[in-house]
């Protein structure tokens, strides 16, 4: 059976002509803000499309950052054991990490808007079920369902942007996507702190979940109104019919049995192998217990190698693998995805460790712990938009400078924390987090744009799914390592007041500084990779793709 053929895409990229259904679209009267699709008189505004997908993305990220502040309440509220509290984080992380790549593949095949609507609806309902949970085990299962739902629609975000945006409009869309990522990570703890402070420990954590129901349903309604998902189903069906015709032609030529139904090539074995590898890598880092669980890591790496072999062999047979490994032959995608993933080793845990340091070590409220990151969140939003127009041409350099600024921010935050423990203002820590936010915003904008710069629109969702899965895996590893360092250094310490007991305060700051040193080390590795990327030869791009 012949291999897949490559043809020029809408922006000059090469992609498999039979790979996935794309809704052909064009701008209306040359206006890039309006999109129309063949067979429909309806006009779609790209700004509204962007609002919908970024709203959904924000909800999934908030469920990562807000829950960290609420964990301490769960034992008293619903009698959750220590292991059940751990699985509130672990279940969500595993479910979303396991589902994103397969769901990105399904989005490319059956329509991204359709998968987005289904996933967001399930996410909204499962969030409410989390809020009304009466036991730790019920909350754990609902968090797994919530993570699975998030994994259905999260990868569609990048696919939809890749499909309906191009040029500077796409760069701005990814800048806003980077803004959402960095701001929600910083604002999540503050939101949870505000809810707990206003509504109490019992109701505050439940509200942090239940708010997703009305917000998610609003997102579903807006998606039904503003996304062209009906047209995607039509073109998906047409693509399957065309695939059937191609299969019939090949069967006749080879003298084999003629198929009667259109076959959707889902590559089930590829899905199973990759899922097993992801679980094996993440599980040791998102759970506690026997050290024997780390034996899963070499086993899962073996499964991952087997998966790579299978995908190559599957494609060589003329089939359509879940992940075309040719994606990783695109230097901008491979480099930017790796740089972004390494960055996630060090940054997300910074906010969790800071919250535990302030609350458990020095008796600060959850609100104060959350507010300490607000200046960084604001600066992150400003810089992500400010660099948007430069991310296509100068994105490589912006990434390197952003990581350097983030590295300075992490070191400065640790220094300010030491000053705080000796009697300084708690808001000194905000200065360091503000510098970190300054770099995070521009990093998110440039990294996302560079990663998807040369990815064919037909591979948008699967590319986004791979990228986000890598980020989730590295977040889990980094959080386990850095919080482990912090807990190890502060185990058995009592809470104190800044400046009151310098010996005890020094012990708390020692754990804080050690964990932040680890974060700085991970950022330094990402910075080295970014500098290498700056000097890596650029691939020539077609004229249409440079517009």
Element (H, E) at 7: strand 6-8
Phi/psi region, residue 79 (left: phi>0; alpha: psi -120 to 50; beta: rest), is left
Can you tell me the distance from the alpha carbon of 297 to that of 164, in angstroms, rounded to the nearest whole number? Answer: 39
**DSSP annotation of 4:** P
Q: Assign 35 to helix, strand or coil.
A: strand
Q: Assign 40 to helix, strand or coil.
A: coil
User: What's residue 13's pLDDT?
Assistant: 39
Token output for 178: 């980077």
Can you tell me the distance from the alpha carbon of 418 to that of 423, in angstroms, rounded to the nearest whole number? Answer: 9
**Whether 188 contacts 64, CB under 8 Å:** yes
In a 13 Å sphere around the CA of 419, the CA atoms on its Cβ side amount to: 15
Can you tell me the distance from the alpha carbon of 436 to that of 415, in angstroms, rounded to the nearest whole number? Answer: 13
The alpha-carbon radius of gyration of the chain (Å, integer) is 24
> For the chain, what's the residue count?
547
Q: Write the CB contacts of 189 (distance below 8 Å, at least 6 apart in sequence).
A: 65, 66, 68, 69, 351, 352, 355, 366, 369, 370, 373
Residue 283's nearest CA partner among 275, 515, 522 is: 275
Can you tell me the distance from the alpha carbon of 65 to that of 70, in angstroms, rounded to the nearest whole number? Answer: 10
Q: Assign 185 to helix, strand or coil.
A: helix
User: What's residue 522's pLDDT?
Assistant: 95
The residues facing 282 across adjacent strands are none
Residue 175's nearest CA partner among 462, 386, 34 is: 386
Can you tell me the distance from the alpha carbon of 410 to that of 420, in angstroms, rounded to the nearest whole number? Answer: 15
Residue 284's nearest CA partner among 270, 300, 271, 261 is: 300
Q: Within its chain, how far is the Cα of 225 from the centroid?
A: 25
User: What's residue 188's pLDDT?
Assistant: 77
Phi/psi region, residue 542 (left: phi>0; alpha: psi -120 to 50; beta: rest), is beta
**Whether 215 contacts 223, CB under 8 Å:** no
Q: Write the CB contacts of 161 (distance below 8 Å, at least 6 apart in sequence).
A: 50, 53, 170, 173, 174, 177, 452, 460
Can you tell me the distance from the alpha carbon of 442 to that of 317, in angstroms, rounded to the nearest whole number? Answer: 42
**Whether 300 contacts 281, CB under 8 Å:** yes
**Whether 70 contacts 204, CB under 8 Å:** yes
Residue 409's nearest CA partner among 389, 385, 386, 383 is: 383
Q: Write the CB contacts of 524 (distance below 8 Å, at least 6 apart in sequence).
A: 407
Residue 68's nearest CA partner among 167, 190, 158 is: 190
Can you tell me the distance from the alpha carbon of 164 to that of 543, in angstroms, rounded to the nearest whole number? Answer: 19
Angle of CA points 451, 271, 336, to nearest 5°: 10
**Whether 514 contacts 485, CB under 8 Å:** yes
The residues facing 35 across adjacent strands are 27, 44
- Give domain limits for the chain: 44-229+322-540, 267-318
User: What's residue 6's pLDDT?
Assistant: 40
User: What's residue 366's pLDDT?
Assistant: 72
Superfamily of domain 44-229+322-540 in CATH is MFS general substrate transporter like domains (1.20.1250.20)
pLDDT tens for the chain, 547 residues long, are 444 434 333 333 333 433 444 444 555 555 667 776 655 567 788 889 999 999 999 998 888 777 877 777 888 888 888 778 878 887 888 888 889 988 988 887 778 888 999 999 999 999 999 999 999 899 999 999 999 999 999 989 888 888 888 888 888 888 888 778 777 776 777 787 788 878 887 888 899 899 999 999 999 999 998 887 655 655 555 655 665 566 666 666 766 665 555 556 678 888 889 888 888 888 888 777 777 888 888 999 999 999 999 988 887 776 778 787 888 889 999 999 999 999 988 888 888 788 888 888 888 877 788 788 888 888 888 898 888 889 888 999 999 999 999 999 999 999 999 999 888 888 999 999 999 999 998 998 899 889 988 888 777 788 888 888 888 888 888 888 888 888 888 888 888 888 778 888 888 999 999 999 999 999 999 999 999 999 988 765 544 344 4
Residue with tokens 């962007």: 50
Measured CA to CA in angstroms, residue 210 lies from 113, 265, 290 at distances of 24, 38, 35
Residue with tokens 């990783």: 328
User: pTM to 2 decimals?
Assistant: 0.81
What are the phi and psi torsion angles at 385 (to 5°)?
Answer: -80, -35
Sign of the C-alpha dihedral, residues 346, 151, 272, 280?
positive
Angle of CA points 282, 285, 286, to nearest 5°: 85
Enumerate the H helices of 255-373 as residue ranges. Answer: 268-286, 296-316, 331-346, 348-356, 362, 366-371
Can you tell me the distance from the alpha carbon of 476 to that of 283, in angstroms, rounded to the nearest whole number? Answer: 9
Enumerate the H helices of 3-135 as residue ranges. Answer: 46-70, 74-78, 82-110, 112-131
User: What's residue 125's pLDDT?
Assistant: 96
Q: Within its chain, how far is the Cα of 419 from the centroid?
A: 34
Token output for 485: 């360092």
């Amino acid at each position: 059976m012949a291999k897949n053929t490559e043809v020029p895409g809408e922006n000059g990229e090469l992609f498999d002509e039979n790979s996935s259904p794309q809704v052909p679209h064009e701008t209306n009267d040359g206006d890039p803000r309006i999109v129309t699709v063949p067979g429909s008189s309806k006009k779609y505004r790209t700004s509204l499309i962007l609002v919908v997908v970024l709203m959904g993305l924000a909800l999934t990220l908030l469920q990562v950052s807000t829950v960290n502040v609420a964990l301490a309440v769960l034992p008293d509220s619903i009698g959750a054991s220590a292991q059940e509290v751990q699985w509130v984080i672990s279940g969500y992380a595993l479910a979303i990490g396991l589902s994103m790549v397969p769901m990105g593949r399904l989005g490319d095949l059956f329509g991204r808007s359709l998968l987005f609507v289904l996933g967001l609806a399930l996410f909204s309902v499962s969030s409410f079920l989390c809020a009304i949970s009466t036991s730790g085990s019920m909350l754990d299962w609902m968090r797994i369902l919530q993570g699975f739902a998030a994994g259905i629609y999260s990868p569609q975000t990048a696919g939809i942007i890749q499909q309906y945006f191009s040029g500077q409009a796409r760069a701005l869309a990814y800048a806003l996507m980077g803004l959402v990522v960095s701001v929600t990570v910083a604002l999540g703890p503050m939101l949870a702190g505000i809810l707990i402070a206003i509504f109490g420990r019992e109701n505050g954590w439940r509200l942090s979940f239940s708010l997703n129901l009305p917000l998610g349903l609003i997102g579903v309604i807006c998606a039904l109104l503003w996304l062209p998902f009906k047209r995607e189903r039509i073109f998906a069906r047409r693509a399957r019919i065309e695939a059937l015709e191609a299969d019939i032609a090949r069967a006749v030529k080879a003298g084999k049995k003629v198929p009667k139904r259109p076959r959707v090539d889902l590559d089930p074995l590829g899905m199973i192998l990759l899922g097993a590898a992801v679980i094996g890598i993440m599980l040791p880092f998102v759970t506690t217990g026997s050290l024997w669980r780390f034996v899963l890591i070499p086993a899962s790496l073996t499964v991952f190698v087997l998966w790579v072999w299978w995908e190559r062999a599957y494609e060589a047979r003329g089939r359509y693998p879940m992940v075309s490994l040719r994606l990783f032959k695109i230097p901008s995608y491979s480099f930017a995805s790796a740089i972004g993933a390494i960055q996630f080793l060090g940054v997300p845990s910074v906010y969790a460790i800071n919250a535990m340091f302030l609350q458990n070590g020095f008796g600060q409220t959850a609100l104060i712990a959350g507010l300490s990151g607000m200046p960084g969140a604001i600066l992150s939003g400003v810089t992500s938009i400010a660099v948007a127009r430069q991310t296509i041409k100068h994105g490589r350099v912006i990434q390197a400078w952003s990581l350097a600024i983030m590295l300075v921010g992490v070191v400065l935050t640790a220094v300010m924390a030491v000053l705080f423990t000796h009697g300084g203002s708690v808001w000194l820590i905000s200065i360091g987090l503000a510098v970190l936010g300054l770099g995070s915003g521009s990093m998110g904008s440039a990294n996302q744009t560079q990663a998807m710069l040369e990815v064919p629109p037909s591979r948008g969702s699967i590319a986004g799914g791979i990228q986000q899965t890598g980020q989730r895996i590295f977040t889990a590893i980094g959080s386990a390592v850095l919080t482990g360092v912090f807990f190890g250094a502060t185990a058995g310490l009592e809470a104190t007041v800044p400046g009151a007991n310098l010996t005890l305060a020094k012990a708390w700051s020692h754990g804080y500084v050690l964990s932040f040193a680890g974060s700085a080390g991970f950022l330094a590795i990402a910075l080295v990779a970014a500098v290498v990327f700056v000097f890596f030869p650029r691939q020539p791009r077609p004229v249409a793709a440079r517009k």
